[in-house]
Each structure stands twice: as structure tokens, then as C-alpha cells.
Structure 1
Amino acid sequence: MLPIDEIRLNFNPASLVLLNWVLGFLMFGIALDTRVEDFRRVLSMRLAFGVGIAAQFIVLPAITFVLSLLLKVQPSIALGMILVACCPPGNVSNILTHQAKGNVALSVSMTAVSNALSIVLMPLNFAFWAHLHPTAAPLFQRIALSPWEMMGHIIAIIGLPFVLGIFIAHRWPALTRRVKRPVGIVSFLALIGFIVGAIAGNWRFFLDYTGVVLLAVALHDALALATGYGCARLFRVPDYDRRAITFEVGIRNAGLGLVLIFSFFGGLGGMAVVAGVWGFWDIIAGLALARLWARRPAAATGNVKAIA
């Protein structure tokens, strides 16, 4: 069995182009459920919002960096963990927050702002921690990835669909109300289908290497959820808001990670396996936590009441 740093997962170039469109469609669906007011709303939730953003873009990548060193994972696995940690959340976090009886208004607002910020912060954050990593840095430098090139790709598949979706939601609200749910469902199912397809097309590699990354992914995911919860608790954010922050920090858009891995890293083994396994484990762990919290409703002491 080849070392995981030396394998390259296969993905049809035509399928990769279609995956980019699917991800753009997913971001468009998130934007349809976003309003300009969501960005204004954060002004009334400054503490919770500030804690959540800092936990996502500063604390989680730093903790991921330390975890990869403690576990002594292979360089490509470390790069995969760092990339996933730098990805923005998706609308799954909003669904889980609703199921957990947390502050959905805060969750939706944070998802909108986090995705907007990630256009610039994600590639820069990833490049910073990758260059700093003692074992992954040489591999990252051999790839010679420009963060500005990645930023351009992210603008194309996140930024433009996001802006278009917000514009349509603002300009044609009645039409948006009719189409946003089916758009969201179709785009999410399409993304899951592509993740399944990527795994199925490289099934032998996943069978060989999933055991290598499963512990790292499980610990990383638990740590991501704990980071959101712990930061919120440290700053005495109410439980109602704390649940939203937990999922906003703990749920990462691994689908975006896969797109970037196949687009810029040639399907690098450890990175692709980490993102593929994370995409499923993240949802399983999030659902388990949401169900647990659903049995113990939080007092609606947040700044904004939950959206039904």
C-alpha cells in the first residue's frame, strides 16, 4: 500500500466542472435564504456574533494546527485537516441549530457573514497555517499554490452565486419564497451525490486509508464543536445563542474542501480522504448533538427569537 501522501484520487475533469456548478448552486440557495437584514441583525447580537466569527477564523484553525502536531499525522492529512478547518459553514448548521432549539436567526446571520468573509480569509488562513506546519509545509510548497489563485476560484463558486442570490431575494421576494426550499434541497442532495460519487470512484483508496484518518477526523470534528461551545461559554453567551455558535463553528463545508482539493491539489490522497470522511462524519455528529439538545430546550434568552 502506497503512503497516503503519494496517492492521487481520480476525478473526471468534466465531473469536476459540474461539481463547481453544483457548489455554486448550493451557495446560491444559501443566499436565497439570506436577507440584507441578516447582516444588519448582527449589530444587535454583537457579543455572540463576535465570539462565533473569532472561533471560526482564529481559534479553530489554531487548534487544528496543534491537533495535527499532537497526532503526528502525515503531511497530506494535516493539510486536509487545516483546509477543512478554514472552510466556511453551510446551511446544514442552520438546520441543526433549528433541531437543537437554538437561535436560528443568529445561525443564519453568521452563515451569511462567514461565507462572505471566507472569500478572502479562507485562502489566506489556509496558506498561513500550511506554511507554518513543520511537516506539511514542504509538501504545500511543492504544490506551489497561490492563495490569490484560490481566492479567485472561491469568488467564482461562492462570491458570485452568493451576491446573485441575495440580489434576487431582495428584488423578487415572492418568487424567492416559492423556489428557495426546492433549490436548497436539490443543491444539497446534488452535493451529497457528488461526494458519494467521489468516494465510490476511489473506493479502494477509501477502504485502504479511511482507518488512517478516521480517528483524526472524529477528534477534529468533536474539537470543532467543542471550540464553538467552549468559546461561547467562556464569554458567557446564553445557551440559546451558544447552540447556534456551536454548529456554526463545528459544521464545515467539506464539499467546498473537496472542490478545492481536486482543483488545486490534484486529489492529494490525505486531503481528499479527510474531506470525504469529514463530509459524512460531521453530519452524523451534528445530528447526534442536535437530538440531545432538542430534549432540553434552551431558555430563549438570546438577542433574537428563534425562527420557526
Structure 2
Amino acid sequence: MGAEALNNINLDMGGPWEAVLAVMLALMMFAVALGLKPAQFSFFKTDPKHYLAGVVAQIIGLPLLTLGLVYLLNPLPSLALGMILVACCPGGNISNIMSMFGRANTALSVSMTATSSLAAAFITPVSILFWLSLYPPTRELLTVINFDVIAFLLQTLFILALPIVLGMIVTRKAPLLAAKIKKPLAIGAVAMMTLMVIIGFYKYRELIPLTATLVIPLVVIHNACALALGYLSGLLTRADVPTRRALTFEVGIQNSALGFVILVTQLNGLGGAAVLVGMWGLWHLVGGWTMVGAFRFADKKQAIKKRRRIDV
């Protein structure tokens, strides 16, 4: 299969499966809203500089960086679309776990994840359209697949925003019920979405070896740049070491599962984009845990130097 053929492949999961994916995504967003607490947004008051630096780096900085990368690397339009789509997604909850093991500012990480998850319901659809429109090949690709902008905005807002609003209402009116159903809903929705992604990859498994040489370098470079952007945002704002690490994970780890579902249900399941988003979902775990190891190694070296100074 030629490289250009990627632009013409669509992952057709079938109407019923796509409907299930949409429902699972809505349930996941509902569960996210059930877990939102005012305390998670306290950094807006207690440490606004670093909190806003992370939010801006994630919502504006990463898509802008990605736009620069696609202009520089000139990937296939479908691959460029996947890169931009991932960059527009909110941070993933796994970043909170990485922050904990990487001895980062975990409280800030949780706060930023909550913010990006809440903002995703309203910002992500518009952000995707805006950044895709700034790169001519992806703009043209949307025209080729007869992309309906209004339908995309309405459907995506319905799937993302309505569950968030309902979840916040339930949390306010029935906090005990919200606390009781939050975890089972989240686990069930994530498990089902993961299963759907696995099914999709298995159904189109022949695409993976054919596209690996095209996709893997893009994913590695993109993720490395995202992690570096997060760390740089901490340096520029003169953050302490734990805060710089938290910003690294928050900007470098994206909710690629959300991107995959949006791609399949709203963007005709473009083959190249789907493979790239799926690969990102695997690689950002490698990149993230590598950073955890690097941070812990740095701490160990620092501790050894400190002990030597004390002994002297």
C-alpha cells in the first residue's frame, strides 16, 4: 500500500459500535464532572502564575507547536490531522499518576487535569476546527471527506458538554449519589472505550506494520516536543522543580482515547489519523514513564552529591 493511500482509508467500526463509543465517551465525561471539586481549582488563587502557564501551554502552546511541526515535517494530511487532533485534546488522568511517581507537584497536576477536562467540553471542538483550518492540507482533507462543520460542533458539544453540565448538577444536588456512582461509571466507560479501541486496532491490524515507519517517528518527535514544552513553561515562569515536572507531564500526556473516539465518530475514522492517535496513546506512556525514571535518577544523583558535601 502506498503512503498516499492512507489519506483514503476510513476506519468503519459500524453504526452500532460508533454509537456505543459515543455513549461511552458521554458517560466518561459525566463521570469526570462527578469528580470535580472546588478544591481542585484552588491553584487559580494560590499559584495563578504556574497554573495559568500550564493551562496556556496545553490549550494554546501545544496546538501552536504542533502546527509548526506539521509545516516543518510536512507529513501526509491524514497524519497531520491526527497530530493536531491529539494536541487539541485535554490532558489524561495518567499524568497525575506519573506526577506522583516522578515526585512532581501532584496537587497542581490534578488541578490542571480537572481544568482541561472541564474546558474540553467547550474548547476542544472549536480548537480542533481552528487549528486544522490553519494548515492547508488538513483544511483540504476536511473538504474531501465532506466534513460538516455545524454538525460536528453540535454533535461534539452534545456528547462532551451536556454530560459535564449534568454531572455538575448531580454533584451539587446529590453529592452522596455522585460519590457512589462516580468510580463505577468511570471504570466502566474507560473499560468499554479501551475495548472498542482494541477492536478497532484488531480489525485494521494490517495497517499498523504498513504505516509504522511513517507514524512512529512523528509520534516520538511530537511527544518529545510536548514534554519539552511543558518543562520549558516551568522554566520560563521560574517554577520550582516539582512544579516544572508537573507541567511536563500535563502538557506531554494527552487524552488520546478521547481523540480516537472523536476521530471515529465525527471525522469518518481517517485511517492515517487513527493509526497516529493510537500510536500516540501507546508512546506517550513510554515517553512519560521515561521522564519519571529520568526525574528519579536526577533526585538520586542530587541526594548522593548532598551526602558527599555533608561527609566533607
Which amino acid in the other structure matches residue 124 of structure 1?
A: V
Return the offset for 1:54. Answer: 1.0
Is the 1:261–1:268 Cα contact (8 Å) retained in structure 2?
yes
Between 1:57-66 and 1:167-176, the stretch displaced more is 167-176
Return the offset for 1:11. Answer: 0.9
Return the offset for 1:40. Answer: 4.3
Q: 1:100 aligns with which of 94, 102, 109?
A: 102
Return the offset for 1:155. Answer: 2.5
> Distance in 2 between the 1:124 and 1:146 partners?
13
Partner SS, residue 269 of structure 2:
coil
Is the 2:22–2:265 Cα contact (8 Å) retained in structure 1?
no
Which amino acid in the other structure matches residue 191 of structure 2?
A: L
Partner SS, residue 192 of structure 1:
helix
Return the offset for 1:182. Answer: 4.2
* Matching residue of 1:86: 88
> Distance in 2 between the 1:72 and 1:24 partners?
34
Q: Report how many aligned residue pairs link the two structures.
A: 299
Partner SS, residue 277 of structure 2:
helix
Which amino acid in the other structure matches residue 5 of structure 1?
A: N
Is the 1:28–1:165 Cα contact (8 Å) retained in structure 2?
yes
* Matching residue of 1:154: 156
> Distance in 2 between the 1:233 and 1:218 partners?
23
Specify whether residues 41 and 230 from structure 1 end up closer, same or farther in structure 2 by C-alpha distance, changes over 3 A only. closer
* Matching residue of 2:242: 240
Identity %: 34
1:66 matches 2:68: yes
Is the 1:23–1:255 Cα contact (8 Å) retained in structure 2?
no
CA RMSD of aligned residues (A): 2.4
1:205 matches 2:196: no
Return the offset for 1:170. Answer: 4.0
* Matching residue of 2:22: 20
Specify whether residues 157 and 239 from structure 1 end up closer, same or farther in structure 2 by C-alpha distance, changes over 3 A only. farther
Query: Runs of 5+ in structure 1 lacking a partner?
Result: 299-308
TM-score by length of 1: 0.87
Query: Runs of 5+ in structure 2 lacking a partner?
Result: 301-312
What are the superposed Cα offsets for residues 181-222 of structure 1, whole Å, 9 maximum, x if unpaired? 444433333332222111111111222213211110111111
Q: 2:233 aligns with which of 231, 237, 243?
A: 231
> Distance in 1 between the 2:83 and 2:48 partners?
29
1:121 matches 2:157: no
Return the offset for 1:58. Answer: 1.4
TM-score by length of 2: 0.86
